[in-house]
Amino acid sequence: MNLFILKLGGSVLTDKDKEFSLRERLLRDLAGELSSLEEKFVLVHGGGSFGHPLASKYDISSGFREERQLVGFSKTREAMEKLNFRVVKALNDAGIPAISIQTSAFTVVEDGKIISMNIEILQKLLEIGIIPVLYGDSVVDIEKGMSILSGDQLLAEIAKKLDVSEVILGVDTDGVYTRDPKENEDAELIPKITPESWENIKNLIEFPTESDVTGGMKNKVEVLVNLAREGIESRVINATKGGNITKCRRRNKKVGTKISRE
């Protein structure tokens, strides 16, 4: 199956500085672009200003320690469902038969790591022509009670279990840079990363110091390099710029940062 996984970061879909602020026009444009591709894909999205502030406030990722976190757990889940509902609706409005898959019911997590998922459900949905939409979420953790499952972890697991041709990680910069491009004019785009080059450069890159409960760009690249080791190719692109996903799928080598085995 010529299937790809698209991750849309929270920084693409929402304004990170303003709680519950969805970038509606951008989302509508992305949905339109995806519908014109006429390809099957799995969409995973992040939490941005919907999930992150709450997850942080109630310290969900540290596990269950006190009563008040139960409210936080439920509030984080509700916020993520609200964002997910809007994403699915935008896809539906663009004519894509997408449905929501509740991450916290779909995967079993132990000590922050996925130990099982109902992958058959995704396979069958794609087979009959439905696009599944998942998201990073606060989840039940059978070891520590509760934790945060990032969209990046989720996409890595799905990529390994489904026969995907490519993973596209949509962020709000043009790819992976030598320094934070938002702060440094001399930051340079890295066009290609391999597992070997990653070992040499990962400690030289000055990654942005983000307040992100799920780890920021360095973690994301680490996830993708691990996929490259298993032969799954990926690309980090700017998803806030129209047409980039299409260029990716048309194998235009000039978009973003490519991460592959060789």
b/e burial code for range 94-109 (CB count within 10 A of at least 16 → b): bebebeebebbebbeb
Backbone φ, ψ for residue 100 (5° rounding): -85, 140
Tokens of 179: 């320094």
Q: x/- contact string, 141-160, with a copy of itself (CB under 8 A)? A: xx--xx--------------
Candidates 11, 14, 61, 103: give the one binding a copy of itself (CB under 8 A): 103
Candidates 2, 74, 197, 252: give the one binding a copy of itself (CB under 8 A): 74
Phi-psi sector, 19: left (phi>0), alpha (psi -120 to 50), beta: beta
Residue 204 CB, nearest distance to a copy of itself (Å)? 41
Contact between 41 and a copy of itself by CB under 8 A: the answer reads: no
Residue 164 CB, nearest distance to a copy of itself (Å)? 19
Phi-psi sector, 39: left (phi>0), alpha (psi -120 to 50), beta: beta
Candidates 17, 25, 128, 186: give the one binding a copy of itself (CB under 8 A): 128
Residues 154, 109: Cα–Cα separation, whole Å? 11
Nearer to a copy of itself, 98 or 248 (CB): 98
Tokens of 174: 């043009």
Contact between 97 and a copy of itself by CB under 8 A: the answer reads: yes
Q: Given the rule CB under 8 A, which residues bind a copy of itself?
A: 64, 67, 70-71, 73-74, 77, 81, 92, 97-108, 116, 118, 120-121, 123-125, 127-130, 140-142, 145-146
